[in-house]
A and B are shown apart, each in its own frame.
Chain A
Amino acid sequence: DAGVTQSPTHLIKTRGQQVTLRCSPISGHKSVSWYQQVLGQGPQFIFQYYEKEERGRGNFPDRFSARQFPNYSSELNVNALLLGDSALYLCASSRGQGGGSFDTGELFFGEGSRLTVL
């Protein structure tokens, strides 16, 4: 079975531009989460989606938005890019439903999309 797949793997943008990152979860997984990992730091939670509904949002500005499609794939959009948005964006899928459920199980991460903002 394929793991979590993300695209693009690398991209370069300039300040003020917009970017869309894509993620396909493991087959059978209904939850997708997005994390931002700045070089040298741990991943930071951005969003979680389950069954196409937003279940959680981290401390990120409104320039960040996401959605989940009927096939459970997801997109992360970032508008008005800043230099500080340069990071590895990780998508993770899980079986669980989130929203306070205890038994949500392991997060499986994709290889990430490395965004560089110039």
Chain B
Amino acid sequence: GENVEQHPSTLSVQEGDSAVIKCTYSDSASNYFPWYKQELGKRPQLIIDIRSNVGEKKDQRIAVTLNKTAKHFSLHITETQPEDSAVYFCAANNAGNMLTFGGGTRLMVKP
């Protein structure tokens, strides 16, 4: 089955700096790669996703890149703000809409 690895597990940045989180996946058939943000005690919420027919997608301060050959994808957050502090999860699909999640990255943005 699919295996998704995520790095780093914790990331501390200064407000205004950029943050990058990287994930690798194992199943070459995966074609949907969402990123979720989970604040303490809250549900995961989709922040951006990318499909395999696209190499990059951007939404304001957030961007995701996908390298299908290397089987890795990354989340980029620019101009970080304290409210970006949360746990971020990458995921990859297998058959249907079943997602395999990475282990999470705890992002801390210091004011």
* Residues of chain A whose beta carbon lies under 8 Å from any beta carbon of chain B: 31, 33, 35, 40-45, 48, 50, 55-56, 58-59, 90, 94, 96-102, 104-112
Contacts and interface: CB of A to CB of B under 8 A. Distances in A.
A108 B104 CA distance: 18
Contacts, number: 72
19 contacts: A35-B101, A41-B104, A42-B4, A42-B103, A43-B101, A45-B98, A48-B98, A50-B96, A59-B1, A96-B97, A98-B95, A101-B96, A104-B32, A104-B93, A105-B97, A106-B34, A109-B43, A109-B44, A112-B43
Nearest to B43: A109
Interface of B: 1, 4, 6, 31-32, 34, 36, 42-46, 49, 89, 91, 93, 95-104
Query: From DSSP, what is the main secondary structure of chain A's interface residues?
Result: loop
A110 B43 CA distance: 6
Contact of B46 (A40, A41, A107, A110): A107
Given A104-B97, A106-B34, A41 B42 contact: no
Given A42-B91, A108-B46, 8 more contacts: A33-B98, A40-B104, A42-B6, A42-B103, A99-B95, A100-B95, A106-B46, A109-B45
A67 to B, nearest CB: 18
A43 B44 contact: yes
B2 to A, nearest CB: 9
Contacts of B44: 43, 90, 109
A48 B86 CA distance: 27
A100 B96 contact: yes
Contacts of A56: 95-96, 98
